[in-house]
Structure 1
Amino acid sequence: MTPTPEHESTTKNPVFTSIGQNLKKIRIAAGMSQAELAFAAEINRTFVSSIERGLSNPSLLTLAILCDVLKVTMPELVTGVPSCPPGTIEGRRGNAAKPKRPTLNRRLR
């Protein structure tokens, strides 16, 4: 089942969506297709598409490479990206190992 646009908009991370929208605007302004950008950045075209749609969490290295190819700075790419208070962004942090509870140092009898 393919998610509807309404479903996608409610499940996307606003940070990823904003970065993706900025990437698409910059790419189009540079006159590049997704395929051309992907080739120059040595990544898959479908990954570029996924980033632009806000569905992927690209690494800082990937974003830096994309900025280099597009001849923009990282601040230009992240302009307007919403800041979120700690703990409000769902993702890997939610799956991270939780710290162990402190144990009482009791003597066994």
Structure 2
Amino acid sequence: MFTPSSLESFERETGASAQEFERSLQAALPGGVESLGAGRYRVCEGDVRLEITAEPQAPRRIGLFALPVLATRYHFVAGSLPARAALIARLDRAMQRGGG
């Protein structure tokens, strides 16, 4: 699990399409995700408020495979540090994929 060095604002590169990313957010927090359009989301849980921006990047190519990539920016606007860390852990679990 990735732990950001700051729970105020940080960036990640995510291996998902915009649709997959939004589905994962919705799965992690049903009813707690608001789509603001153009890859912008507001995530709310308890006293925590998180704004996320996701921008598609050039796909990562491995042989004939093309994997989608999003540049994501996370910015907390409210919430205690423990609650922020718990929310990030919950989002990370929802975005995990199977592996070998």
Q: Which TM-score band applies after superposition, normalised by the shorter structure?
A: 0.3 to 0.5
What is the TM-score with the length of structure 1 in the denominator?
A: 0.35
What is the TM-score with the length of structure 2 in the denominator?
A: 0.38
More strand per residue: 2
Q: Which has more radius of gyration?
A: 1
More helix per residue: 1
